[in-house]
Amino acid sequence: MKILYIDIDSLRPDHLGVYGYHRNTSPNIDRIAKKGVTFTNYYASDAPCAPSRNAMFSSRFGIHTGSINHGGLDADVRPIGADRPFNHHHTPYQAWVEDLRFKGHHTAMISPFPGRHAKWNVLEGFLEMHDTGKHAGETAGDVAKEALKWIKGRGTEKEDWFLYLNFWDPHTPYRTPAEYGNPFEHSPAADWLTDDIIAKQRESFGPMSARELPARNQWPNLPEEISCREDFKRWIDGYDTAIRHVDDHVGQLLQALEEEGILEETTIIISADHGENQGELNIYGDHQTADHITSRVPLIMAGPDIKHGHIDEEFHYQIDLGPTLVELVGAEPRERWDGTSFLPTITKGEAAGRDYLVVSQAAWSCQRGVLYDNWMLIRTYHDGLKDFPDLMLFDIENDPHETTNLVEKKPEVVAKGLRLLDEWVAEQMITSDSPTDPMWNVIQEGGPFHTRGNFNNYVKKLRNEGREDAAEILAKRHQKFQKIYKKRN
């Protein structure tokens, strides 16, 4: 069996045609989806980049591995401890890529990710690793060049293989080559973000908010701030153009597989490490939350053993993919994996989902979100200098862009979500090898890595800009952290 896993960084499902997007961003990805299974409720258990891929490759929650941050103690995986054997293979913790290798698959990765994030443990099980060399500054052409070379070489030499590759274009800074142009110049942006919402966002605050867009973007004509609908269109054009640019190169990979006569025998997986807030919760072009937008990722699977044209709406974690692939190739899931196989879904179209999901974030804020029924409840432990209350509740079926916090109006729904969150944490801690929830380690270190140590300077910045009300709101919310800040400084 040949398996091609295409990981497109920061790709939102709802910006793909197969998920109902109004712009033609993904004709090649949509073509794959028509021949396979599309998952509509597939979520990264831990966000953003490094925690997500660590969880995915290990099939374990961050609360168990300890790897939930981008720096500090909880950026790395906890050691196994005294029971760590001489040879890590065949332990209950073994990464699922190893199982593919043991079943005869030649395993290879094309990605700068391990070096960019110093997450070398994700290489477990890979026989080959090709770093594209630009520290995630590569465009789709750089990645496709190496992938095409591999497909036409190793891909034809080996009977069974697993190739994992990364495209980075939809991750800021948007750097689609200027000569590519803007395919969406005359296509309007989504209409959910109104001028009224933008005006409220500009009165608020936070990293990557309407008045503080991510810097260093290289694609032409991007705005420095979001002040009106036209700014939003220019901004989202950059993101969508990056997606279309990747999709063109996905088409090149499909063509190469077809030319080599192996397309029909190759299982193709399209997914992402996390989504990307594009105005939701007043965050633009980043992934700072444990909400529906950052945590939800696409999953499209097509291949010789995959059911054609099926849409699955069940709840699944990204960590469920590994056990599914392991069963697909005839192996057994490992004892200490948190993921559960949904093989019946991809082969027969049968339901194999979960009752609810809990997603986590600790690199830009410290949050856990609970997804149940049509609700997303978000509990914020540390806001990462953003304008977040302790609790937020959204009806993501009717309000997918999270514009209306219903905490005050739906106390019974909030109570259910808090109960589910408490049950989940208790279940994970009972089965944990450590007595410590890593979320509290992060907070004791001073908060999420990307905003750690910035509180005083950020409050001063707000005041210097005449945003005194915003500064007071933030200062009041962070009174509870002052002892930690003083200790760390």
User: What's the chain look like in SS3?
Assistant: CEEEEEEECCCCHHHCHHHCCCCCCCHHHHHHHHCCEEECCEECCEECHHHHHHHHHHCCCHHHHCCCCCCCHHHCCCCCCCCCCCCCCCCCCCCHHHHHHHCCCEEEEECCHHHHHCCHHHHCCCCEEECCCCCCCCCHHHHHHHHHHHHHCHHHHCCCEEEEEEECCCCCCCCCCHHHCCCCCCCCCCCCCCHHHHHHHHHCCCCCCCCCCCCCCCCCCCCCCCCCHHHHHHHHHHHHHHHHHHHHHHHHHHHHHHHCCCHHHEEEEEECCCCCEECHHHCEEECCCCCHHHHECCEEEECCCCCCCEEECCEEEHHHHHHHHHHHCCCCCCCCCCCCCCHHHHHHCCCCCECCEEEEECCCCEEEEEEECCEEEEEEEECCCCCCCCEEEEECCCCCCCCCCCCCCCHHHHHHHHHHHHHHHHHHHHCCCCCCCHHHHHHHCCCCHHHCCCHHHHHHHHHHCCCHHHHHHHHHHCHHHHHHHHHHC
**Which pLDDT score, from 0 to 100, does residue 88 have?**
64
| pLDDT level of residue 67 (50, 70, 90 thresholds) | very high
- pLDDT above 70 as % of the chain: 99
Least confident of 80-89, 154-163, 401-410: 80-89
Measure the CA–CA gap between 69 and 76, rounded to whole angstroms. Answer: 8
Which residues have C-beta within 8 Å of that of residue 426, sequence separation ≥ 6? none
Average the pLDDT over 205-233 and give the result. 93
Given a cut of 90, is residue 86 above it in pLDDT?
no
Q: If you average pLDDT over every residue of the chain, what do you get?
A: 96
Question: How far is C-alpha 148 from the chain's CA centre?
Answer: 25
pLDDT per position as a tens digit, 44-56? 999 999 999 999 9
Residue 236: the pLDDT is 98
Non-local (6+) Cβ contacts of 312 within 8 A are 37, 38, 39, 40, 41, 342, 345, 349, 351, 353
Compute the average pLDDT of residues 446-469: 96
- CA-CA distance, 347 to 21, in Å (whole number)? 27
> At residue 428, does pLDDT exceed 90?
yes
pLDDT of 246-293, one tens digit each? Answer: 999 999 999 999 999 999 999 999 999 999 999 999 999 999 999 999
Q: Stretch 148-173: mean pLDDT, rounded?
A: 96
- The pLDDT of residue 489 is above 80: no
pLDDT tens-digit series, residues 351-385: 999 999 999 999 999 999 999 999 999 999 999 99
What pLDDT digit, counting tens, does each position of 122-159 carry? 999 999 999 999 998 999 999 999 999 999 999 999 99
Q: Is the pTM value of this prediction over 0.95?
A: yes
The yes-or-no verdict on residue 22 having pLDDT over 70 is yes
pLDDT category at 85 given cuts 50, 70, 90 is confident
Q: How confident is the model at residue 195 (pLDDT cuts 50, 70, 90)?
A: very high
| Percent of the chain's residues with pLDDT above 90 | 94
| 483 Cβ contact list (under 8 Å, min separation 6) | none
pLDDT higher than threshold 70 for residue 25: yes
